[in-house]
Amino acid sequence: MALRGCQRQLGHKKLLVDAAGGHGGIACVFLAHKRADRAIVVDLYQPTSFENLRRAWADDPDGSDASVKYHIADVSSPDWLSSLLDKEAGDLRPSEIGVVSCHACSLLSDELIRACTRSQVDFALMPCCHGEDSRKGKMMLNTAKMLGIPHDMLIDISRLGIIEESSGYKASMRCIDSSITPQNRVLLGLRESEADAEKRELARSASLYRLARKYRHIGIPLGKGTGRVTVENAVSHRTRYHACSAKLEAEAETGMVVDASSKASQTSDDTEEENPPDDEHEHKRPTAPEGVTTQPHRARLSLSWAEYFLVPPFQFGAMCGNVKEPFCAGA
């Protein structure tokens, strides 16, 4: 069932690469089920059993071995797949090529994932031997113990995340019967269509938008009496940001709380007037007695990160001159 599921998700391939394929059994099965036009088995050594399997499963009607052949290569090498495809793929598109691997040991599974995503081809691999004598391996082992889950399961889940975050890929997992092998998880990396990529981006944007709206109460609403973000308010807050920055710089230099209203007018490049203070004595801060050192304040603006996010990036760049300074949370 799992094999048929993997074959169905991978689809029909004009060229199938069986990486670390040993006797080539996986390649022969794909050919026997008409899921590939031809296959190449790649490994460091060619066992004698390969010829027996080829004749029994994948022999061509004319007696030739054109449908499947062996290629000697080190699949742990970073460029083995690209070199093989340059030689064997011809005019085939990446979507017409697939890579499979059964029980790629330890770090070899990670190298295969990198090679396949680099060449932008679909792949399905079944990892095994998850031990790794390194700082990363010890970290994963300790994390698995802390979470109370099997070590190999944690590693394969992390690999799914790596595949999913690879540009242009979507990840999935299937399992075969554990009575066949305890290392029964199959990791699939399938190239995204344009529609899939668009759906992913829309889902991401919608999720962030909902999160931003949920936490809008963190800051004071920008509009007078409303929580709507407007161009005028965003520019006004940019002006206040520069005022805040100027005041902090002055306080850092003198160690005293200073009035930043005059310096703010020099640092801001906007023509809009600053909002008048609600309290006419707001700028008349007390100064410390002579000989007493004061600590600079941590000034905060009333533009929360959530409200900053709700301004479309293209609109914010146009109205604020592509300002990249971070805004503080609302007081």
262-274 confidence digits (pLDDT tens):
444 444 444 444 4
Residue-level pLDDT at 138:
87
Of residues 275 and 128, the one with the higher pLDDT is 128
- pLDDT given at position 127: 92
pLDDT-based confidence at residue 259 (cuts at 50, 70, 90): very low
CATH number among 3.30.540.10, 3.40.50.150, 1.10.10.10, 3.40.50.2300, domain 2-192: 3.40.50.150
Look at 304 and 174; give whichever has higher pLDDT: 174
User: CA-to-CA distance for 218 and 215, rounded, in angstroms?
Assistant: 6
d(CA 186, CA 2): 8
Distance CA 267, CA 207 (A): 36
Domain span(s) for CATH 3.40.50.150 in the chain: 2-192
* pTM of the predicted model as reported, rounded to 2 decimal places: 0.62
> Taking 60 as the threshold, does the pLDDT of residue 77 lie above it?
yes
Is the separation of the CB atoms in 15 and 37 below 8 Å? yes
CA-nearest of 48, 51, 9, 44 to 30 is 9
Whether the per-residue pLDDT at 144 is higher than 50: the answer is yes
pLDDT score, position 118: 94
| Identity of residue 150 | P
Rg (CA), the chain: 31
SS3 content of the chain, % helix, strand, coil (to 5): 45, 15, 40
